[in-house]
Structure 1
């Protein structure tokens, strides 16, 4: 039995989110949750909340399943980019790209 959750349009760059997901991929859900709680990265809070949601989804599907013993897998895809203009000297302008990402977490039994 597997469970899945998706979080879309998270205002964090995909590169920073992938760094966190790569650290928990392949671990048991209980160990990954503990690791996320003590990570210094800003995106760890988003992913921790998602992991709790995935574990609740697994327990909802099968009441007998031990969601903490399931293996975590996940992907991070690039979302839309908000473009903003920053004024510079002598009439010039810079474009600021504010990136977002879509995070998908999945847990499966061994």
Structure 2
């Protein structure tokens, strides 16, 4: 291994790094809510412990970066709508790389 390669640590993803976004990505990833599988917004809010306004703001940012996608299933009233959240393939890859970078940092690489 070249000397320079040992001194380079994997990069943290600045999109995922803030704790609330990391919590969201970790929850979706660990639940398997990627590409073909989805998680209800209400379930995601419950599992992350984030208030609705915070969760919505963070999802908007993640969606703008292409890391998650959202779909709305319309009910008879807006209160009965269901929002589904999915970690995209790009989001899942970014999350895995971010976790690997954190592991490398903690192992002193």
Q: Same fold (TM over 0.5)?
A: no
- Scaled by the length of structure 2, the TM-score of the pair is 0.32
Give the number of the structure whose residues are more often helix, by fraction.
2
Bigger relative CO (Cα 8 Å, ≥ 6 apart) = 1
TM-score after normalising by structure 1: 0.32
| Structure number with higher strand proportion | 1
Rg larger for: 1
